């Protein structure tokens, strides 16, 4: 029996809200929707559902019809998340853009608190007896990789469809990894402005190229990541926890612009930045930033409590998808 049949109206509404939280996170370069999915308790179901999709899904659709395919492949779960993410983009994109432009310290502080509070939440999923050898190596390796990635300067933008296809495949993989931001990967690759420009001008060729790359990357990577989770859960959790730790470099609220790198097509300027200490006596926002950090941490606590309560009320049944 699929998870679809186990959910009532309240559970579907909660799933849509979790999708909205994922969408809001992915809108901010440096924050990952995968982090929110894990905190909200839907990460493994997301991997399992995505990993079950493939050519077999299309064959099943023609043989058994849309209703049977919808149930077998847990498509209601994906639909609820997609609706939530879409609503988040429509409702929150403008507000988040305004905060990034006019109150960046407060916004970064909120997400810094959110991600920092997520780290112990993920680490407690690893038994204490496992904190040795390979687990510690992957924990530090993940932190080092994310720390290095988030320190890379953005590249000049590329616009070729083949480049956008590859960028879509790489960025979508990052979006489902806790601690690695897909939008920030696009910035590093130099594709962020091109993708936004293609969407604004409705450049069908480049939109299709990017979306096709994202689809290929999503289906392929989710299968591999799901396989790792099923067979090496502790190692996977250590690596992903490391990613979260390393991503804090990007989310540190207080930064200094060293020099301009280039300007986007919409006029925004990318700067080479370094993290600095908060100016407690010279920055009137530092106390508000601390409050914003606390709010982010409290949100994680609330999502975690919601996840535990939902898990206790829902039988532990994974979607009945096949992994072609």
Question: Hey, what are 126's tokens?
Answer: 């690893």
Q: Could you tell me which residue, 108 or 7, shows the higher pLDDT?
A: 108
Q: What 8-state DSSP symbol labels residue 254?
A: -
Q: How many residues does the chain have?
A: 324
Over range 77-104, report the average pLDDT: 82
Over range 309-316, report the average pLDDT: 55
Q: Could you tell me which residue, 199 or 55, shows the higher pLDDT?
A: 55
Confidence of residue 318 (pLDDT cuts 50, 70, 90): very low
Q: Could you tell me which residue, 272 or 37, shows the higher pLDDT?
A: 37
| 172 closest CA partner among 115, 225, 103 | 225
Q: Could you tell me which residue, 271 or 86, shows the higher pLDDT?
A: 86
CB 296 within 8 A of CB 112: yes
Over range 157-186, report the average pLDDT: 79
pLDDT at residue number 256:
84
Rounded CA separation 303/90 (Å): 22
Q: Quick check: 69 pLDDT over 80?
A: yes
Over range 246-261, report the average pLDDT: 84
Q: Quick check: 320 pLDDT over 50?
A: no
- Specify the pTM: 0.72
Q: How many CB atoms lie within 10 A of CB 46?
A: 24
pLDDT at residue number 136:
93
Over range 7-30, report the average pLDDT: 81
Confidence of residue 159 (pLDDT cuts 50, 70, 90): confident
pLDDT tens-digit series, residues 194-234: 777 777 777 888 889 998 998 888 888 888 888 888 888 88
Q: Quick check: 312 pLDDT over 80?
A: no
> Residue 170: left (phi > 0), alpha (psi -120 to 50), or beta?
alpha
pLDDT at residue number 324:
44
What backbone torsions phi and psi does residue 270 show, to the nearest 5 degrees? Answer: -90, 130
Over range 184-201, report the average pLDDT: 74
pLDDT at residue number 321:
47
pLDDT at residue number 77:
92
**Alpha helices of 27-160 — where are they, by DSSP H?**
33-39, 43-51, 55-64, 66-72, 75-102, 104-123, 134-149
pLDDT at residue number 322:
46
């Amino acid at each position: 029996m699929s998870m679809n049949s186990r959910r009532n109206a309240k559970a579907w509404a909660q799933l849509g809200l979790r999708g909205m939280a994922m969408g809001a996170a992915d809108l901010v370069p440096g924050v990952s929707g995968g982090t929110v999915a894990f905190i909200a308790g839907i990460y493994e179901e997301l991997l399992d559902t995505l990993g079950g999709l493939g050519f077999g899904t299309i064959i099943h659709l023609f043989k058994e019809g849309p209703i049977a395919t919808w149930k077998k492949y847990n498509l209601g779960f994906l639909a609820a998340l997609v609706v939530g993410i879409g609503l988040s983009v429509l409702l929150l994109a403008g507000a988040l853009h305004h905060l990034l432009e006019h109150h960046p310290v407060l916004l970064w502080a909120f997400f810094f608190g959110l991600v920092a509070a997520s780290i112990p939440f993920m680490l407690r999923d690893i038994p204490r007896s496992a904190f040795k050898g390979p687990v510690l190596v992957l924990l530090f390796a993940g932190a080092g990789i994310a720390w290095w990635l988030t320190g890379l300067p953005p590249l000049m933008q590329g616009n070729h469809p083949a480049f956008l296809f590859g960028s879509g495949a790489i960025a979508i993989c990052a979006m489902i990894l806790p601690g690695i931001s897909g939008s920030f990967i696009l910035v590093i690759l130099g594709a962020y402005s091109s993708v936004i420009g293609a969407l604004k001008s409705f450049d069908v060729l480049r939109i299709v190229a990017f979306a096709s790359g994202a689809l290929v990357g999503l289906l392929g990577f989710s299968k591999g990541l799901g396989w790792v989770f099923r067979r090496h859960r502790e190692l996977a959790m250590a690596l992903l926890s490391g990613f979260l730790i390393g991503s804090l470099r990007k989310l540190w609220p207080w930064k200094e612009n060293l020099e301009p790198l280039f300007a986007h097509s919409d006029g925004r300027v990318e700067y080479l930045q370094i993290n600095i200490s908060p100016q407690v006596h010279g920055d009137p926002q530092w106390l508000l930033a601390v409050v914003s950090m606390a709010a982010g941490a409290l949100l994680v606590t609330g999502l975690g409590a919601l996840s535990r309560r939902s898990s206790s009320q829902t039988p532990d049944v994974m979607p009945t998808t096949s992994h072609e």
